[in-house]
Amino acid sequence: MSICPRCESIKIKCMVKAPKKNTWKVMICETCCYSWRNTESPAQTSRDKYPQGFTLTLEQISTMIVSPPIAKK
Ligand SMILES: [Zn+2]
């Protein structure tokens, strides 16, 4: 099973495939919106190799603030 390299979500899907011979595809995470091409280096495609300072957890995402804040009526 594939997971998002940035946030470990399993909610990922193929956004686009190469027009010929399936030489590459771009995946996108429906949780954090990170996208990556499957032919990029493991630092962009693998949770284990993704730069530690840029990883997210599902808990962090759920507590993020909206910026800029939504105006109140
Ligand atoms: Zn993600």
> Per-residue pLDDT for the chain (73 aa), expressed as one digit of tens each?
699 999 999 999 999 999 999 899 999 999 999 999 999 999 999 999 999 999 999 999 999 988 888 888 8
Distance 40 CA to ligand 1 centre (A): 16
Q: What is the pTM of this model?
A: 0.82
Looking only at Cα atoms, what is the longest distance across the chain? 52
Distance 38 CA to ligand 1 centre (A): 15
Distance 73 CA to ligand 1 centre (A): 32
Please give the radius of gyration of the chain, using alpha carbons only, rounded to the nearest integer. 15
